[in-house]
Amino acid sequence: MNLYQTRLFRSFFPMVSFVWLGLFAAGAQSAAELKAEAEASEPRKVVESLTTTLLDLARVGQDKLKNEPEEFYAEIERVLDPMVSFKFIAKNVMGQSYWKQATEVQREQFIVVFKRSLVETYVKGMSQNLDYEMAVLDKESKVLKSKASIVQKITGPDSVNHVVYTLGLGKSGQWKVTNLTLDGVNLGKTFRSQFAQGMKENKNDIDATIAGWAGKS
């Protein structure tokens, strides 16, 4: 990730928190209820559910983050799991060649580390301004048989941004988010470049690269 991308990604912390933690907001529901909604919903509705009632929950979440951070992170992960394909995303971040080289234990370890790093990164934006208006742009969105791109316009106090959610329809009939593009910056590709750079710096030591990733959040 170059300096520009790093700054851009950081500028999205509060916005991405708003996006992901909207699912947590939907979720004072159970994980089972969220899974049922994901299975029954079209991609547009899945994306919209990510941002429901976030402002109220953000205030509650900040208190829990301060007093019980580990429990808060774990709860967010539990709620996100039905709608985000962390395994698919982590596999693409690691890249096909490194994924093949990795043992099953290393793969599972990276999925856990990657998921936690995302959650912690997004949570860091919670204390910032969450005064956003969000609208799905239907004319720019595309839904195919098993893949969809849903475009969302996010208007904040000082900026207007566009998020493209890529979703895939799994064999279970469940739509899940598999990638995000923020104002033209593809996070999947950006993270993949980061992982490849980590492998280079660690002389192709997968364990060391995973450990380094764990220290990024």
Residues 127-148 pLDDT 10s? 565 677 889 999 999 999 999 9
pLDDT for the residue numbered 5: 38
Are residues 61 and 21 in contact, defined by beta-carbon separation less than 8 angstroms?
A: yes
Q: How far is CA 211 from CA 109, 118, 199, 202, in A?
A: 10, 15, 11, 10
Instruction: Compute the mean pLDDT over every residue in the chain, rounded to the nearest whole number.
Output: 79
CA–CA gap between residue 217 and residue 114 (Å, rounded):
9
For residue 64, the model assigns a pLDDT of 82
d(CA 168, CA 177): 7
Q: Are residues 156 and 150 in contact, defined by beta-carbon separation less than 8 angstroms?
A: no
pLDDT beneath 70, residues of the chain:
1-41, 50-60, 122-130, 216-217
Contacts of 27 (CB under 8 A, 6+ apart): 34, 79
Give the model's pLDDT for residue 110: 98
Write down all domains in the chain, each with its CATH number in brackets.
3-214 (3.10.450.710)
Classify 74 in phi/psi space as left (phi over 0), alpha (psi -120 to 50) or beta. Answer: alpha
pTM of the model: 0.78
- Ordered DSSP codes for 29-49: S-HHHHHHHHHHS-HHHHHHH
* Rounded Cα gap, residues 46 and 67, in angstroms: 30
